[in-house]
Amino acid sequence: MASDLTDFIAGLPKVELHVHHVGSATPQTVARLAERHAGSTSVPADPALLADYFTFTDFEHFIEVYLSVVDLIRDAEDLATLTYDIGAGLADQSVRYAELTLTPYSSIARGISAEAYCEAVEDARLRVARDRGIELRWCFDIPGEPTMTGANVTLDVALKQRPDGLVSFGLGGPEAGISRARYADHFAAARAAGLRSVPHAGESTGPETMWDAVRHLGAERIGHGIAAARDAELMDHLREHDIALEVCPTSNVCTRSVPSLAEHPLPRLVAAGVPVTINSDDPPMFSTTLNREYQVAADLLGLDERGVAELARQAVRYSFLDERGKSGLLAEIDAYAKD
């Protein structure tokens, strides 16, 4: 890929719509926390060893490793530092607005109160906006699991704490064996309170998981959703109902959800008219960045600068940023692309 396109992407104003909180911890942050909690974690305290630690055999192994990193976030100070650093790192990539997926239950289950959790991330959100000019918003994410405890706690925190940055309600974790439909009441309550619906579906499972997310959870965007490429009717439905996919190409390869980038279904989805946005998921774990994911998408789709700028515009349009914010950011992209 030409270096001029790489440079263009680096300076292009962007939004990030699918990036996980703990999954965005840099190797340096993870190693520092692992050293702090030495003796009670399997995570290496040497950044050089983390590349091997973050090599996943399959999606289930990825979840296992991810949860071991979650366990390193043990107090409100850890939360605030992590959140601020994520925002600053995104700002370094010319990201102006990001919807960060948070899983409050994981921290609450480890002893951080709901109040302290929300205060910590809100403090970081305000500070990084002031210091770096990036706006962060939250998606509170249910950790898909056999019991309903996490779902109940997540909804309770979302509705009772309702931090200012909260805009949406999600569902993550393993897809296999975890029915989307079982969370219908939780999503109905969240949507009734004004939160937007953005469940994960169709990453490591088939199209039926996505149909369930649409039918039972009222999905307005879908995390990953690459399985739609196997179902022409589903792709038609997504296009006709303007339901965008949050596509994270490198992540899908690293979790073995697709065999290789060359076999990624992104081109089929775009050819079918399915709205897509490009995102990074858990970037340090997958040795990637949002800028890199734009490069990957440009390569898969054969895009030039004009096409890459349109990807950035599409992400703005499908964000939950207010209309004034969308207009301002679209104008900034237009001005940049004309230079």
Concerning whether 203 is annotated as a catalytic residue, the answer is: yes
What secondary structure letter does DSSP report for 132?
H
Record the tokens describing residue 258, joined without a space.
């697709």
Alpha-carbon distance 281 to 288, whole Å?
9
Q: Write the DSSP assignment of 170-182 as a string of letters.
A: EEES--TT--SGG
Coil, strand or helix at 225 = coil
Alpha-carbon distance 166 to 161, whole Å?
10
Cα torsion 194, 90, 123, 40: sign: positive
What secondary structure letter does DSSP report for 194?
T
Record the tokens describing residue 146, joined without a space.
């056999």
What secondary structure letter does DSSP report for 49?
G
Record the tokens describing residue 182, joined without a space.
């079982």
Strand order in the sheet with 135-143: 14-20, 95-102, 135-143, 166-172, 196-201, 221-224, 244-247, 276-278
Coil, strand or helix at 114 = helix
How many residues does the structure list for the chain? 339
Nearest to 153 by CA among 103, 193, 116: 103
Q: Write the DSSP assignment of 202-235 as a string of letters.
A: SSSS-HHHHHHHHHHH--SEEEE-GGGGG-HHHH
Alpha-carbon distance 249 to 267, whole Å?
11
Nearest to 102 by CA among 190, 20, 194, 191: 20
Tokens 């060893």, located at residue: 49
Of 203, 220, 246, 293, catalytic? 203
Question: Which sequence positions are flagged as catalytic?
Answer: 203
